[in-house]
Amino acid sequence: MKLLRNFFRLIKIELVILKYDLVHVVADYSNSKFLKIIDLLNPWHYTKVSTKYSKGQRLRLALEELGPIFVKFGQLLSTRPDLFPEDIISELKLLQDKVKPFDSNLVHNELQRAYGQDYKEVFLEFNDAPLAAASIAQVHEAKLHNGKEVAVKILRPKINKIIDKDVSLLKSLVTSLVFFWKGLRRFRLKEVVGEFERTLEDELDLLKEAANASQLKRNFNDSKILYIPEVYWDYSRTNVLVLEKIAGIPIADINSLKSVNTDMKELAERGVDIFFTQVFRDKFFHADMHSGNIFIDASDPKLPKYLAVDFGIVGSLSLEDQEYLALNFLAFLEQDYYKVAELHIDSGWINKNTRPELFASAIRTVCEPIFEKPLKEISFGNLLLRLFQVARKFDMEVQPQLLLLQKTLISIEGLGRQLYPDLELWKVAKPYLQDWFKNRYSLCNTADKFKDSIPDWISLVPALPKYIKNNIISNQQDKISKQEVKDNNLSDINSNLKTLNYLVVLVVIVLGYSLFLK
């Protein structure tokens, strides 16, 4: 049954591609003669689709028809003006918050299901016209009975089943690809799909999104550069999220920002600051930072403030990931490619037998041209692609836990290009990373870490004598076994261990007393 369902889904994908004549679009950009021949065999090529809609419109409509996973892919592509022409980008941007909304009757049904009562009993006012519509949910303006204005996010009906089908298909495709092409295994495609599936699962539970918003709000509680709206927990459910309504200029509306004399350079640099603060201070970051999710409070145009929404996708890093990233960023900024190579090898991302000088030389060839240039002359996306090409020669494995971070970096690049093309991203980042490194490895910070670990060490003290005893007995028994000694004088050992126990206790008492005096 599952195989049959996937088969029909594949057929539908192929029909949508043909219906919107996307083969012709790809053939044009790739200049592939083979694809152009295939396109001539497509019966839809001779219909009005090609003339009625532009290339960008056809791509957007196809992604919308294929469903949420494909829409999200289109959202990512919309942040890459370096890869696609403006007509394609402008259409893909509509996927961020201009997806076709679902009917108001369905909205009322979902609210009824969530609250167990008529939505008019919950909201004093409710606007049926959606404020924004995306692939998984849409947002409506409303007012609570206490007079507070709110934004109500509602999941699309039956969205869970739709996503389950596409994820199941994706898993089957990846399994087949990895089976037939062994070289794909190092890309860890199964783990990547698993990570994508977990991300989608989080987006389908709006209470998780509420928790993400609350965490980010705590992290930036008194911030002058980023504001997170308040969550109204009493009104939020798994399929409905109620947040404080915010007012600001969409970050993509460059003309409006400039019309109020917004300092675009300051705005762009604050965006970089927010990203690095989330990653290297909090290890927790908003991972869906496309232009549809960010607004600007320009009431003070010289010190503009970011307003963020949509917290369904967030990323978190382990301490090891954070430290690895920081050291790599610093090494890149210092143009210490040998250090970058060593870090990759030490982390296990590159084979341990790799000669670091060879890998460093390959990285230098890719990275050296990008430094000391403004952002408008640097494509971080192209840099990543070239790095992957180099890494392929050294059997580098893809790290699924960092995919969200890579996606966020690409979004930051796209926003930076729109706001202030001359922004020198690396120059803004370098002082921040240097300060992080100094604080991270300062004497005071090391002392604080040691102090924080004291309770853990003290909790181990009661078990220490027993551990030492068992270890000595084990070592002694191994020694006796190897030497084939028949007489095992355990009584002497126990006698010595008792003396050792007393010594350990005495040492612990002395150390504890010394710490108490200090």
Residues annotated catalytic, as ranges:
288
Q: Which residues have CB under 8 Å from 446's CB, separation 6+?
A: none
Q: Return d(Cα 149, Cα 234) in angstroms, integer.
A: 15
Q: Return d(Cα 485, Cα 493) in angstroms, integer.
A: 15
Q: Return d(Cα 418, Cα 74) in angstroms, integer.
A: 18
Asked if 445 and 300 touch (Cβ cutoff 8 Å), the reply is no
Q: Which residues have CB under 8 Å from 293's CB, separation 6+?
A: 96, 286, 308, 309, 310
Burial class (CB in 10 A: 0-12, 13-18, 19+), 123: buried
Collapse the DSSP code of 250 into the 3-class scheme (helix H, G, I; strand E, B; otherwise coil) and give the result.
strand
Q: Return d(Cα 243, Cα 216) in angstroms, integer.
A: 14
Strands 226-227 and 284-286: unpaired
- In SS3 terms, 358-421 reads as HHHHHHHHHHHHHCCCCHHHCCHHHHHHHHHHHHHHCCCCCCHHHHHHHHHHHHHHHHHHHHCC
Residue 309 structure tokens:
């929404």
